[in-house]
């Protein structure tokens, strides 16, 4: 029997459901995943695909050393942009170590590469995947193309290192593709940051907390990547060989790329970043964080010299101190005031104990 009253009640309930406000943290989590993180992972995959092609082309004599080095620096930048976005599978296990081995206080990269090219002169990607993480990633690739000892400008040396170079290129491509496929899978990170609850996050607040923890850890790591070569842990004695990507002189550009990526998570696309979650009465804090990012990026952009060059004189060291202080300001704002404003307990970060 037709019941108009029941139908009206059902339609009214549907209408109310459609008008119900969306959870802002769920909207922000989904927006950051779709508009910031996923495109950055996709660029990383494309850069590593190009790296694999580049290694093969260089070893076949189709491109020169300068082009091969430029392709490495492109991949290094793509990886640096991922640092503030390390949530999910790439942050688990030792996967990030498989991409880049840092810090390397005992030159394990150089020592283990020399052992490997002697022990397995015709190594391929499958065998490399079973080797130490030290020789699988960008740090090893950089050593081959840039270190004086490898000296691949010499034809004999090039032939010696090329099997490993092409294996690393292929290994990095495979790893990046695996991670991206995992993100896009049915129950992958993209789904887990979009629909709640799920097996990773009980609610959207947990996802936002995870994002902020990744930001805080990345900003803390940036301070370490600059502070270590500056000698902040060695009584002011510079340690240029402790810098990230020092062989290719990519240290400062990599740091800037990481900072810019962190700013994108903060600002979001169409204001759907962490910034958009702050209530109106927190505008002074939002403005303070905006200004801190702008100041830090401006300092990076005003330093055309390499990190090694800047460590060599007083003026350069003062500039590096200014950059460090600016990074510290961004880090402290995220770790303290932003976490408090968003109601997030950070706990320990991945660098605690380093």
The C-alpha angle 296, 351, 172, rounded to 5 degrees, equals 85
Q: Provide the 10 A C-beta neighbour count for residue 46.
A: 16
pLDDT at 179: 97
Specify whether the CB–CB gap between 138 and 172 falls below 8 A: yes
pLDDT at 8: 44
Task: Tell me how far apart the alpha carbons of residues 269 and 271 are, in angstroms, rounded to a whole number.
Answer: 5
The C-alpha torsion from 351 through 29 and 26 to 90, rounded to 10°, is: -60
What string of pLDDT tens digits covers the 354 residues of the chain? 444 444 444 444 443 344 446 899 999 999 999 999 999 999 999 999 999 999 999 999 999 999 999 999 999 999 999 999 999 999 998 899 999 999 999 999 999 999 999 999 999 999 999 999 999 999 999 999 999 999 999 999 999 999 999 999 999 999 999 999 999 999 999 999 999 999 999 999 999 999 999 999 999 999 999 999 999 988 889 999 999 999 999 999 999 999 999 999 999 999 999 999 999 999 999 999 999 999 999 999 999 999 999 999 999 999 999 999 999 999 999 999 999 999 999 986 555 545
pLDDT at 349: 58
Specify whether the CB–CB gap between 54 and 68 falls below 8 A: yes
HSE toward the beta carbon, residue 185, CA cutoff 13 A: 12
Domain boundaries, the chain: 24-341
pLDDT at 7: 43
Largest CA-CA distance found in the chain, in angstroms, rounded: 90
pLDDT at 93: 86
Query: Peptide bond preceding 197: is omega within 30 degrees of 0, i.e. cis?
Result: yes
Q: Which CATH class is domain 24-341?
A: mainly alpha
End-to-end CA distance of the chain: 72
State the pTM of this model: 0.92
Task: Tell me how far apart the alpha carbons of residues 77 and 64 are, in angstroms, rounded to a whole number.
Answer: 20
Cα dihedral across residues 259, 44, 111, 158: positive or negative: negative
Q: Provide the 10 A C-beta neighbour count for residue 269.
A: 13
Phi-psi region of 45 (alpha: psi -120 to 50; beta: other; left: phi over 0): alpha
Specify whether the CB–CB gap between 296 and 330 falls below 8 A: yes
**Local structure of 273: helix, strand or coil:** coil
Q: Provide the 10 A C-beta neighbour count for residue 53.
A: 16
Q: Which of 274, 296, 294 is nearest to 341 (CA)?
A: 274
Q: Which of 312, 293, 311 is nearest to 301 (CA)?
A: 293
Specify whether the CB–CB gap between 309 and 316 falls below 8 A: yes
């Amino acid at each position: 029997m037709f019941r108009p009253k029941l139908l009206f009640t059902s339609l009214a309930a549907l209408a109310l459901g459609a008008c119900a406000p969306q959870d802002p943290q769920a909207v922000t989590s989904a927006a950051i995943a779709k508009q910031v993180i996923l495109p950055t992972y996709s660029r990383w995959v494309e850069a590593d695909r190009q790296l694999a092609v580049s290694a093969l082309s260089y070893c076949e004599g189709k491109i020169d050393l300068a082009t091969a080095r430029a392709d490495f620096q492109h991949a290094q930048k793509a990886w640096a942009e991922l640092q503030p976005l390390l949530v999910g599978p790439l942050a688990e296990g030792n996967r990030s170590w498989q991409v880049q081995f840092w810090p390397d206080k005992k030159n394990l990269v150089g020592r283990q590469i020399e052992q490997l090219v002697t022990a397995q002169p015709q190594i391929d990607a499958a065998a490399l995947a079973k080797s130490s993480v030290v020789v699988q990633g960008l740090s090893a690739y950089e050593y081959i193309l840039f270190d004086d000892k490898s000296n691949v400008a010499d034809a004999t040396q090039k032939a010696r290192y090329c099997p490993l170079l092409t294996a690393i290129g292929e290994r990095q491509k495979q790893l990046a593709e695996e991670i991206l496929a995992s993100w896009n899978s049915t129950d992958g990170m993209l789904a887990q940051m979009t629909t709640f609850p799920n097996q990773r996050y009980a609610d959207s607040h947990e996802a936002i907390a995870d994002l902020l923890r990744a930001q805080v850890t990345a900003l803390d790591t940036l301070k370490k990547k600059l502070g270590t070569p500056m000698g902040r842990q060695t009584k002011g004695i510079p340690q240029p060989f402790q810098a990230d990507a020092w062989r290719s002189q990519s240290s400062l550009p990599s740091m800037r790329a990481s900072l810019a990526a962190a700013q994108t998570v903060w600002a979001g696309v169409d204001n759907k970043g962490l910034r958009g979650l702050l209530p109106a009465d927190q505008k002074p804090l939002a403005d303070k964080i905006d200004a801190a990012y702008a100041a830090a990026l401006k300092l990076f952009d005003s330093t055309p010299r390499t990190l090694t060059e800047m460590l060599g004189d007083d003026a350069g060291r003062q500039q590096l101190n200014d950059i460090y202080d600016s990074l510290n300001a961004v880090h402290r704002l995220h770790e303290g005031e932003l976490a408090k404003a968003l109601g997030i307990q950070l706990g320990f970060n991945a660098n605690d104990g380093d």
